[in-house]
Amino acid sequence: MFTLIKTDTTSKARRGRLLTAHGAIETPVFMPVGTQASVKALDNRELLEIKAQIILGNTYHLSIRPGMQIIEAAGGLHSFMNWHLPILTDSGGFQVFSLAKIRKIKNNGVEFRSHLDGSLLFLGPEEAMAIQRKLGSDIAMVFDECPPHDSPPREFQSAVDRTIRWAKECRQQPRADGQLVFAICQGGIHPRLRERCAKEVVAMDFDGYAIGGVSVGEPEPEMMQAVELTEPHLPTDKARYAMGLGTPAQLVELIARGVDMFDCVLPTRVARNGTAFTRKGTINIKAGHVKADLKPIEEKCGCFACQNHSRSYIRHLLNVNEILGLRLMSIHNSYFYNQLMQEIRSHIESGTFSEFREDFIANFVPSARIRALRSLER
């Protein structure tokens, strides 16, 4: 389970270790998103080289393609994709939010129209847990309802009611051998709802707890507020996961607020558009001023892209639509995120997280495009 190794004296930052059926996860941790059983543009060897400890899969998408019959025949998701470290699977609850135009919420679950062919599908607590059991993920997420951030209070109330009820139903479902189950806390920025949801799911004694309803279009102050309203009601001896977040600066600030685990498509998504993360912020590698720049994306970076290629070369690849360009960008950004987590773990251990936090936030200047990203599909 989860062991709290050290806490920061100047913030709520925590250094921990989560034990799973496929190995230990050192926290704080960033989890690359592999929605379709693949982290976009990266193969497993590259994920191991950037020291990814755990990746994500998605219940909704994998149940449609390739379908559970094929994954079961392969021996589960680990065997299907030949990944032998931990996997967390989202329950499909986020799609209740993101596929709002093709779904209908009912008391016992959600009726979908497939985004592929329009066929009728149903996903509820029993179905979501059964799929995750067959996938054999190390961490399964309960099925929840994630309303838009600007919903009226009555919709947040209804979503919290369903989330609590569905969590109880998920808790009663069988699970794969060694599978951990995390509950999800909803409630928007309503203090009473956040407190109620957190306290009720904590009373059910799950293996970990996630803060949901963030990265759904809300301004950053509201996202921070949602985390701050939830964290005090979560147990200190269980892992805490902020779903779908975020930029490097957001991760540093959320760790300071007591969060242990993160996932986000941002590193690989913006990589495919030519944006690279560095300690000083973001760089547009496609920009004209980079055309003859023979420096690596970032000096002293240990990733394969920076150790072997220049900005100029990668820009050329991107501009002529060579696949290698977006792969090298994805390698760099994913390495950056995982290296950031490794450094934060070291600073918490050594008692220097406060200085690191202040320095990083002062120097990291994201582009306007990164600042504008407010909702990221998982």
Mean pLDDT, the chain, rounded, equals 95
The amino acid at residue 367 is S
Tokens of 331: 């390698």
Treating both helix axes as pointing N-terminal to C-terminal, what angle do 323-350 and 353-363 enclose, rounded to 10 degrees? Answer: 140
- Closest-CA residue to 185 (of 162, 213, 215): 213
CB-based burial label for 299 (10 Å; 0-12, 13-18, 19+): exposed
d(CA 240, CA 242): 7
d(CA 252, CA 102): 36
d(CA 233, CA 263): 22
Catalytic residue among 90, 138, 144, 207: 90
d(CA 353, CA 345): 9
What is the model's pTM?
Answer: 0.96
pLDDT digits (tens, 9 = 90+) for 330-343: 999 999 999 999 99
The amino acid at residue 370 is I
Mean pLDDT across 220-227: 97
Mean pLDDT across 365-378: 67
pLDDT digits (tens, 9 = 90+) for 26-51: 999 999 999 999 999 999 999 999 99
Sole residue written with tokens 């990668």: 314
Whether residue 375 is predicted with pLDDT greater than 70 in this model: the reply is no
Cis amide leading into 246 (omega within 30): yes
Q: Sign of the C-alpha dihedral, residues 259, 261, 265, 267?
A: positive
Whether residue 377 is predicted with pLDDT greater than 70 in this model: the reply is no
Sole residue written with tokens 């990589």: 271
Helix (H, G, I), strand (E, B) or coil at 171: helix
pLDDT digits (tens, 9 = 90+) for 76-125: 999 999 999 999 999 987 776 666 676 888 889 988 777 788 888 899 99
- Closest-CA residue to 139 (of 73, 57, 82): 57
In percent, the amount of the chain with pLDDT more than 90 equals 87
pLDDT digits (tens, 9 = 90+) for 164-182: 999 999 999 999 999 999 9
Mean pLDDT across 256-270: 97
Helix (H, G, I), strand (E, B) or coil at 40: coil
Mean pLDDT across 323-334: 98
Residue 90 known to be catalytic: yes
Whether residue 288 is predicted with pLDDT greater than 90 in this model: the reply is yes
Name the E strands within 91-236. Answer: 103-106, 109-113, 120-123, 139-141, 180-185, 208-211
Q: How confident is the model at residue 374 (pLDDT cuts 50, 70, 90)?
A: low
Cβ atoms of residues 62 and 296 within 8 Å: no
Cβ atoms of residues 156 and 168 within 8 Å: no
Q: Which domains does the chain carry?
A: 2-264 (3.20.20.105), 275-369 (no CATH)
Catalytic residue among 8, 138, 144, 263: 263
Q: What is the pLDDT of residue 93?
A: 76
Alpha helices in 28-98 (DSSP H): 44-49, 59-62, 68-74, 77-81, 93-98
The amino acid at residue 108 is N
Residue 359 known to be catalytic: no
Q: What is the pLDDT of residue 97?
A: 66
User: In 10 A of CB 246, how many CB atoms?
Assistant: 24
Whether residue 378 is predicted with pLDDT greater than 60 in this model: the reply is no
Q: What is the pLDDT of residue 313?
A: 98
Q: What is the pLDDT of residue 373?
A: 66
Mean pLDDT across 286-302: 97
In the chain, count H helices and then E strands. 16, 16
Q: Sign of the C-alpha dihedral, residues 47, 37, 2, 164?
A: positive
